Amino acid sequence: MIQGVFLQLERALFHLALCGHGESVAVELVDDVSRHKNGTETMREQYKNTLDGEKEMFADRSIDLWRTLQIWVNDYRASGSLCSQYLLVTNAKAAGAIVDALRASGSLSDRATAITTAMATASQAGRGKAKKPSKIQAIINDVMAFPGPNLIDLVARIEVVEGFDYNAMRPELATHLGIGPDFDRDAFLTDLMGWLVETLQSAWGSGVAGIITKEACLRQIDAVRLRTARRRLLPRPSSEVMVGDEQVASARGRAFVDHLGRIKIDDDEVLQAIEHFLQFNVERHRLVNEGEIPPQEWVDRGNRLKQRWQSVARKVRLDHAGKDRVLRGQHVFADTTYFHREDLAGHPCDELYVTSGHYHRLADDNQVWWDPEFQGN
């Protein structure tokens, strides 16, 4: 059941990649997935999936095949019109004389005749002496009762799609969506799929049809592209920058930790400062190596942080002149590192460790400090 839902969403994204200007893709509107343009259905598809890799789908007398055909026949009966294309989709291999005829090439009339002939043969195979036909035979009889010319018109538009494998076609899908090789295509498609799911859930929760236009898809692609580009430029979230216990233990002997000890900072805060220091060093190294942030920007940023530290220290000296050295130092430390988030390369940088860690790196070089009586370089 869940795999079928996934396949449905994957097929919807697949069609969004292929459809053109003014088209839209719907899920669970008139079929499992459908394409529309100017208010008219242009494609409808039914999918059937299996977890059994050896199972052959859409056999000549399978309920999956004939129930789908009945749905399409009944819609034709009700509306008197057809869409341009009907797709039978499965993640496995299809087998049977009807499927063979659907696969066959040739003129439209010859192909349609071959399909209806195979359907007629399958329908006769289940006719017995029993007064009441089986469930599948009743469905087959209903489909075959459809007028011949109309049935030929319908089956001529049906195609079978076998072995649909979303993961295998992700590179091709990314190309159709205009996702360049400079991006992490898998992450990009995962983000896009999340948007698709959220959009459909929002629509259904509001009681409206689950329809997504190509234009909405393109806007979302642009938004993901901008977010991805910005993420490449800016440091990663702190949760993604891991530091090990050995690194933490080694950093405890560094100069910036000594500066914290001079103003009696609690061990929990010292541990956070060490983590910020290590995380900052990891991301600075990565961004410099990848060429995203030039080394000079880090120097300029460090100078801005030192200027701000000097201003904070002066203000603390004025506002807390009567307090002892340790308390004044704690005020300088807190006002400098607790909340401020310095921009990076002209972009807002919301990750606190990138500012706090940068300050600790400066303190490690004795370029800033917290104890007002410390004698720097």
Question: pLDDT in tens for each of the 377 residues of the chain?
Answer: 566 678 889 999 999 999 999 999 999 999 999 999 998 999 999 988 887 766 789 999 999 999 999 999 999 999 999 999 999 999 889 999 999 999 988 777 789 999 999 999 999 986 665 667 889 999 999 999 999 899 999 999 999 999 898 889 899 999 998 888 878 888 889 999 999 999 999 999 999 999 999 999 999 998 888 777 666 667 888 999 999 999 999 999 999 999 999 999 999 999 999 999 999 999 999 888 876 788 899 999 999 999 999 999 999 999 999 899 999 999 999 999 999 999 998 888 899 999 999 999 999 999 999 999 998 76
Burial class (CB in 10 A: 0-12, 13-18, 19+), 15: buried
Q: Are 9 and 20 in contact (CB under 8 A)?
A: no
- Domain residue spans of the chain: 2-230, 238-364
Residue 53 phi/psi, 5° resolution? -65, -15
pTM: predicted TM-score of the whole model, two decimal places: 0.65
Distance between CA atoms of residues 306 and 318, nearest Å: 19
Distance between CA atoms of residues 232 and 226, nearest Å: 10
CA-closest candidate to residue 309, choices 289, 329, 281: 329
Cβ within 8 Å of residue 273, ≥6 positions away: 256, 257, 260, 265, 337, 356, 360
| Residue 40 β-bridge partners | 37
Distance between CA atoms of residues 171 and 169, nearest Å: 6
Distance between CA atoms of residues 33 and 43, nearest Å: 8
| Residue 93 β-bridge partners | 56
Distance between CA atoms of residues 72 and 214, nearest Å: 25
Adjacency order of strands within the sheet including 158-161? 158-161, 85-90, 40-48, 33-37, 23-27, 211-213
Burial class (CB in 10 A: 0-12, 13-18, 19+), 25: buried
pLDDT in tens, 60-94: 999 999 999 999 999 999 999 999 999 999 988 99
Give the pair of three-digit tokens for residue 86: 């009907």
Return the residue matching tokens 């990314």.
174
Q: Are 177 and 221 in contact (CB under 8 A)?
A: yes
Buried/exposed 218-251: b ≥16 CB within 10 Å, e otherwise: eebbeebbeebeeeebbbbebeebebeeeeeeeb
